[in-house]
């Protein structure tokens, strides 16, 4: 696996930060986008599509999400493709947050 491209990984706004999974392919392009969403100053974070089950990626998402004494309050899956959802159960174990899925 390659390192995430600097232009995508870490991009976002004050409320949403992208953590790019190191799984480039024709389907994922540069890699799967995992999003960490929080209102500025909030201690609660929402993680959208934790990504594939790679331990390094999941721990990196947790590090970004828990920066500044924040906690993951909810994990949301937009769909069940493995590149978006395969790491959800493990990320729930790491973060202690529940997993919800969109219909």
Instruction: Quick: pLDDT tens for 64-87.
Output: 999 999 999 999 999 999 999 999
* Radius of gyration (C-alpha) of the chain in whole angstroms: 12
Judged against a pLDDT cut of 50, whether residue 4 lies above it is answered with no
Backbone phi, psi, residue 45, to 5°: -125, 145
Q: Which two tokens stand for residue 35?
A: 């999003």
First to last CA, the chain: 31
Cα torsion at 41, 76, 21, 94 (round to 10°)? 80
Q: What is the mean pLDDT of the chain?
A: 91
pLDDT over 70 (residue 91): yes
> What pLDDT shows up at residue 13?
92
Question: What are the domain boundaries of the chain?
Answer: 16-101
CATH number, domain 16-101, options 3.60.15.10, 3.90.1150.10, 3.40.190.290, 3.40.50.170: 3.60.15.10
Using alpha carbons only, what angle is made at residue 9 by residues 8 and 15, rounded to the nearest 5 degrees?
95
């Amino acid at each position: 696996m390659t390192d995430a491209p600097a232009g995508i990984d870490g991009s976002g706004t004050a409320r949403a930060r992208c953590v790019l999974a190191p799984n480039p392919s024709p389907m994922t392009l540069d890699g799967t986008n995992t999003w960490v969403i929080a209102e500025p100053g909030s201690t609660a974070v929402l993680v959208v599509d934790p990504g594939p089950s790679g331990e390094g990626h999941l721990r990196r998402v947790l590090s970004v999400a828990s920066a500044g004494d924040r906690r993951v309050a909810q994990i949301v899956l937009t769909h069940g493709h493995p590149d978006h959802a395969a790491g959800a159960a493990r990320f729930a174990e790491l973060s202690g947050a529940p997993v919800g899925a969109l219909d």
